[in-house]
Amino acid sequence: MIVLGLETSCDETAAAVVTDAREIRADVVLSQLDDHTPYGGVVPEIAARAHLQHLDGLIRRAMADAGIGFGDLDAVAATGGPGLIGGVIVGVMTAKAIAAARDLPFVAVNHLEGHALTARLTDDVPFPYLLLLVSGGHCQLLVVEGVGQYRRLGTTIDDAVGEAFDKTAKLLGLGYPGGPLVEKAAARAANPGRFELPRPMIGRPGCDFSFSGLKTAVRRHVEELGGRLTDADRDDLAAAFQATVAEVMADRCARAMRLFRQAHPQGGALVVAGGVAANKALRARLASLAEREGMPFVAPPLRLCTDNAAMIAWAGIERLRRGETDPLSFAPRPRWPLDPSAAPVIGRAG
């Protein structure tokens, strides 16, 4: 089975060709970073126009990279939500047009399910597994029982963790997007233990997260330094922030592991996914936790953690294998929680 996947839910325009033998035949991502940088964040209208402008060309490139024509495809999958609605509409309409013209099945993929199933594209990960989904708009711990079967153990009660990285980067004057820039600054820190930050939720019952207090604490340190940071201040603060996030994640994951084991004594892996899963300090912290707990740990390669279309094509394949497709009347969804019983997620899209 060969599937074309499209991703347009935020500020990456992406197209990929993936097979059910877990082969990524093409994977092209165009970041709109330069379009949004002057505004310090993603501007939805600019994003939608940029998707419209670039998507056709990216699809052509992906098909050429894969060495196939439209006649070789078995299906088309596109992110159907959650995300910035203008962009999602561009991807969904494009996929529907190809599906209609070529009489192919169409699959509307939940972007979060794309992140959630990526580990099964890159590694042998059987269901069930414990998933830490950490991205620009989400921060959740989920038990993945199967395709389309998610049980949420915890979520953020305020900011998503990627959002916290982005806001902290802004406070530190590092620019956008914050995650990779905070990581780089932290790696340069000469005195990473210099600043003490509160560690929200650590030791509390449950598996929820909170990041707004941490962000406020960073702001207070910036103000105490007179609002003018030296490079050393900036790097040390970035290191403190990143280390605190990793500690909080490890604490919440340790609790979730206990709950997971109660429900699934036969075992399962700890999987991390989403843009923030590209953070090497976080990956290392989770790897050591998993080792201590005797649980396998799986983290997709960095470029498959941040937004891409290979994960969308793959999630499409997982659904097609179950005989699931979507009608061409599918309406793009700005909000689309993975766990249908979950209360609406606070934060950005989703």
CA distance linking residue 276 with residue 136, whole number of Å: 7
Point out the annotated binding site.
111, 115, 133-137, 166, 179, 183, 279, 307
Point out the annotated binding site for Fe cation.
111, 115, 307
Does residue 11 interact with Mg ion by CB under 5 A?
A: yes
Q: How large is the C-alpha radius of gyration of the chain?
A: 20
Nearest distance from residue 145's CB to Mg ion, in Å? Answer: 28
For 75, phi and psi rounded to 5 degrees?
A: -170, 165
**207: partner contacted, choices ligand ATP, Mg ion, Fe ion, none (Cβ within 5-8 A by kind):** none
Chain residues binding ligand ATP by CB under 6 A are 10, 83, 111, 115, 135-138, 162, 165-166, 177-180, 183, 274-276, 278-279, 306-307, 349
Strand 129-134 and strand 270-273: pairing?
Answer: parallel
> Of 54-62, 191-199, 224-232, 299-307, which segment contacts Mg ion by CB under 5 A?
299-307
Nearest distance from residue 297's CB to ligand ATP, in Å? Answer: 17
Does residue 135 interact with Fe ion by CB under 5 A?
A: yes
Q: Which of residues 304-343 bind Mg ion (CB under 5 A)?
A: 307
Does residue 159 interact with Mg ion by CB under 5 A?
A: no
- Ranges assigned E (strand) in 39-128: 75-81, 106-110
Q: Smaller CB distance to Fe ion: residue 135 or 279?
A: 135
Number of C-alpha atoms within 13 angstroms, CB side, residue 150? 24
Does residue 10 interact with Mg ion by CB under 5 A?
A: yes
- Ranges assigned E (strand) in the chain: 2-7, 12-19, 24-31, 75-81, 106-110, 129-134, 139-146, 149-155, 270-273, 297-298
**233: partner contacted, choices ligand ATP, Mg ion, Fe ion, none (Cβ within 5-8 A by kind):** none
CA distance linking residue 252 with residue 26, whole number of Å: 36
The gap between the terminal CA atoms of the chain, to the nearest Å, is 30
Q: Which residues bind Fe ion (CB under 5 A)?
A: 135, 307
